[in-house]
Amino acid sequence: MNIKILGSGCKKCQMLYDLTKEVAEELKLDATFEKVTEIKDIMSYGIMGTPGLVVNEKVEIAGKLPSKKEIVKVLEQYL
């Protein structure tokens, strides 16, 4: 599984990265993580607000910091 966090590196982007990594570890997922910080790369996903969570090249969450429960729900779809 490939997980990307889209964002400029702001506090919310870092929080999303940390929370998502924590959830992936709890679910024992075999996942690689990448931070996408370049604006042109972020825009290529069609989102206007960050942070964004992309799983296997599909935008799952954009423009808000989701709760841990929301991240669990998203990642469980890929089990």
Active site members: 10, 13
What pLDDT score does 51 carry? 97
Cβ-in-10-Å burial (0-12, 13-18, 19+) of 57 comes to exposed
For 46-77, what is each residue's pLDDT tens digit? Answer: 998 999 999 999 999 999 999 999 999 999 99
Range of the domain at 39: 2-76
pTM (two decimals): 0.95
Amino acid letter at 47?
I
What pLDDT score does 57 carry? 97
What pLDDT score does 48 carry? 87
Domains held by the chain: number: 1
Q: What is the CATH number of the domain that holds 31?
A: 3.40.30.10
For 1-56, what is each residue's pLDDT tens digit? Answer: 999 999 998 999 999 999 999 999 999 999 999 999 999 999 999 998 999 999 99
